[in-house]
Amino acid sequence: MEEVDVEPTTTPIPGFDSNQKHLGFVWGPGDILVYETIYKASGGSAGGCPFVHEVRKDEDIYSPILRKLFNESHHIFVGLQRIREDLPSKNKKPQFVSISKNYRSVIRACMEELQQVLYHNDFLGTTLLSLELIWNLCEVLFIDAAPAGSLVLHLLDWVRLHKADVDEKAREVLASESPAEHQAYWDVVISYVLQGRMDEARQVLVKQATLQPAARAMFKLLDNLLMKMPIFNPGETQTLTEFDVKWRHWREEVDRCLQDQSFASNPHLEDICKILVGDEDVLLEHKELLSTWYHFLVTRLLFSHPTVKPTELHYYAQSSMHMFLDTRSVPEPLDSILLAAFEFDIHQVIKDCSIALNNWWFVGHLTDLLDHCKLLQSHNLHFGSNLREFLLLEYASGLFTHHSLWQLAVDYFDHCPEFGRVYLELQIERVPLDTERKALKVIRICEQRQMTEQVRSICKIMAKKALRNNRLGSALSWSIRAKDAAFATLISERFLQDYCAKGTFSDLDLIDNLGPAMLLSDRLTFLGKYREFHRLYGEKRFSDAAKLLLSLMTAKIAPRSFWMTLLTDALPLLEQKEVIFSADQTHELMFCLEELTSGKTLVMIFVCCLAALLSCLLKREGPVAPLHHIEYGISKNILMRMIH
């Protein structure tokens, strides 16, 4: 999109004087943090301000009412992406129109919900009304692409939907004691005629006819004109040319009534007759009832050019806006957007909406639908992406700043083939991992998209967080999932330290079920195998326990600092009634002890013998436990003192 020739929006910051002090700021993913610096504008320094201000670019995302809009439209968006590309466009048109109406129904539902709120946001209500008005017009002109004849009927429906106050006024008039004498009576009748609702106008006119028996013939004549007004029906066999001939005959009949001054005695009926022939001066006299230039446009087309072609629409739109608006007034952004739509300038509509609206929801979804309808020409931006993808990326990036809506953004990134994955990889790392449940949700999203690096990063973050909270089991589980050997080694060390301090392992279920994961690091392998030694010992499978214990030392899997603990664990096995260690295995144990205390060989042989003797003296009846926890604590203490 080309550069916008407008001044950026000014956001005042309370308590800050830009003439006195400088501002500092930090960009965030969806906002800017602004703070007052200690520097004066003229140089020097001053006292700093303790406040930090958050300036959000997508404030609407935090509205509880609009959350429903974002959630519901997400389902519609995903459904639209599933429409088969190989189907001919003419076969997909009914689906596109249906999807467009679904989007509008969601906007309408939010408007109704907003009206039920006691202190509702008038600005938000006006914004939603404008969104639905623009979308509905785009649906008529671009998506449904109504042809000549049907076009005016669709525009009439558009106006009626957005100018519904006449029905409320009509109920008030008809509920009064004397409807024909109500001050708003003629406003209701003329409003119905201006909207082409002839049947309703005739029903209300009956009230006045019964009140004036002398003028009954005049009312009957107008009723007949209203009843006979031709309305094009695309479902009938009547051609557009035949309808045009029939409409011209009716128009001539209305003209004759004016020429004959059939309604001269009643100014209201004469005004209605002039409206039927499209008298622009009379139409403009009822500006208050029309209220907008585009209502004036549609009424003007209905009574003057009912078979207008889409290609001719821009001329009538421009002239209607100039005729209706005061020459001194500047058109509102909404007027410019609607005029661009009537001129069939889709890109201008999208551009103006992007400038006027304070979020990307509208332009993102509308552009996506128009792109599926093949209505957007290839419109690449300078960095390679097309217009549809650029707007969807901006919208999804805004969603990622919200604590719960970020999950919706994932599907939008998935359907942006050029840069969607890159954006997702960058944004997914910014999701606050407040709970393990949320972390698992993020990981599942990454795993479904083969985002291996992001999975590892998240697991590492969660492992460190669990370790800080001294939740060793959770930390080990996350580090295994991250395949982080260094961190798994660190946590395994912590497990062994806790074991030495407390005499028991925590998180036994996790350690007992490490499986192939224990091969991630040598220290984790040792932790798993050492726990297996304890399990074998507890099951009194002493031979298997002895073999495993010895292999941990001879294969150099056990950390050297833990060898003394293993040697003391071997003592209860040495003094069993049956021989557990063979002569060769015993020599290997002695060799390990000698290697551990090189230079003190003779002393250590003596210590080992003494330790064995003490263990025999201190042995108790009942199950045998590892030496350094229960019966053999004294032996270990003496052993350690003599080594040192």
The HSE-up count of residue 529 (CA atoms within 13 Å, CB side) is: 23
Per-residue pLDDT, 2: 38
Looking at residue 195, what is its pLDDT? Answer: 93
Alpha carbons 364 and 356: distance in angstroms, whole number: 14
Which of 60-69, 153-162, 476-485 has the highest mean predicted lDDT (pLDDT)? 153-162
Flag whether pLDDT at 286 surpasses 60: yes
Q: Round the average pLDDT of the chain to a whole number and report it.
A: 80
Percent residues over pLDDT 90 in the chain? 38
- Average confidence (pLDDT) over 401-423: 91
The confidence band for 17, taking pLDDT boundaries of 50, 70 and 90, is low
- Would you place residue 623 in the very low, low, confident or very high pLDDT band (cuts 50, 70, 90)? very low
pTM of the model: 0.76
C-alpha to C-alpha distance for 297 and 320, rounded to whole angstroms: 6
What is the C-alpha separation between 221 and 275, in angstroms, rounded? 15
Quote the DSSP letter at residue 386: B
Tell me which of 576 and 470 has the higher pLDDT. Answer: 470
CA–CA distances in Å: residue 356 to residues 65, 136, 330, 475:
20, 18, 15, 49
pLDDT given for residue 99 in this prediction:
96
> Under a CB-based contact definition with an 8 Å cutoff, are residues 13 and 34 in contact?
yes
CA-based nearest residue to 428, from 67, 415, 452, 416: 452
Interatomic CA distance for residues 47 and 21, integer angstroms: 10
pLDDT given for residue 502 in this prediction = 66
143 Cβ neighbours under 8 A, 6+ residues apart = 93, 96, 97, 100, 369, 370, 373, 375
pLDDT number for residue 124: 80
Q: How confident is the model at residue 162 (pLDDT cuts 50, 70, 90)?
A: confident
Q: Poorest-confidence range of 80-94, 148-162, 268-282, 340-354?
A: 80-94
Q: What is the pLDDT of residue 306?
A: 94
How far are the Cα atoms of 378, 401, 425 from residue 428, in angstroms, in the given order? 30, 10, 6
What is residue 472's predicted lDDT score, i.e. its pLDDT? 80
Range from 26-30, 78-82, 324-328, 612-616 carrying the lowest mean pLDDT:
612-616
Chain centroid to CA 133: 23
What is the spatial distance between Cα 242 and Cα 536, in angstroms, rounded to a whole number? 99
Residue 136 is predicted with a pLDDT of 96
Strand order in the sheet with 52-56: 21-27, 31-40, 52-56
pLDDT at 233: 85
Model confidence pLDDT, tens digit, residues 202-229: 999 988 877 777 778 888 999 999 999 9
- Report residue 169 as tokens: 């006024």
Q: Is the pLDDT of residue 167 over 80?
A: yes
Give residue 444's pLDDT: 93
Pure H helices in 53-121: 64-81, 89-116
- Nearest CA to 276 among 288, 258, 292, 294? 258
pLDDT at residue number 629: 40
Q: Which residue has the higher pLDDT, 20 or 520?
A: 520
pLDDT at 337 over 90: yes
Whole-number pLDDT of residue 60: 59
- Buried residues in 371-403 as b, exposed as e (16+ CB within 10 A): bbbebbeeeeeeeebbbbbbbbbbbbbbbbbbe
**Which pair of structure tokens corresponds to residue 165?**
């106050």
Which sign does the torsion angle of CA 561, 565, 568, 569 carry? Answer: negative
pLDDT at 513: 62
Where does the pLDDT of residue 389 fall: very low under 50, low under 70, confident under 90, or very high at 90 and above? Answer: very high
Residue 99 contacts residue 80 (beta carbons within 8 Å): yes
Is the predicted pLDDT of residue 542 greater than 90, yes or no?
no
Tokens representing residue 445 in the block: 């999203």
Most confident region among 27-31, 70-74, 230-234 by mean pLDDT = 70-74
H/E run at residue 388: helix 387-399
| C-beta atoms surrounding 608 within 10 Å | 19
Residue 44: what pLDDT? 58
Residue 256: predicted pLDDT = 93
Sign of CA dihedral 270, 271, 277, 280: positive
pLDDT of 157 over the 50 cut: yes
Residue 85's pLDDT is 72
The number of CA neighbours under 13 Å toward the Cβ of 81 is 15
Least confident of 46-55, 95-104, 480-489, 516-525: 46-55
pLDDT in tens, 224-249: 999 999 998 887 778 899 999 999 99
Predicted local confidence at residue 37, as pLDDT: 76
Half-sphere exposure of residue 584: CA atoms within 13 angstroms, side-chain side: 3
Rounded Cα distance, 337 and 343, in Å: 10
The DSSP code for 620 is -
pLDDT value of position 634: 38
Pairwise CA distance, residues 365 & 56, whole Å: 21
Across the range 14-32, mean pLDDT stands at: 65
Task: Supply the pLDDT for residue 80.
Answer: 94
User: Which pLDDT belongs to residue 208?
Assistant: 83
Helices (H) and strands (E) in the chain, counts: 31, 3
Mean pLDDT of 69-84: 92
> What integer pLDDT is reported at residue 420 of this predicted model?
93
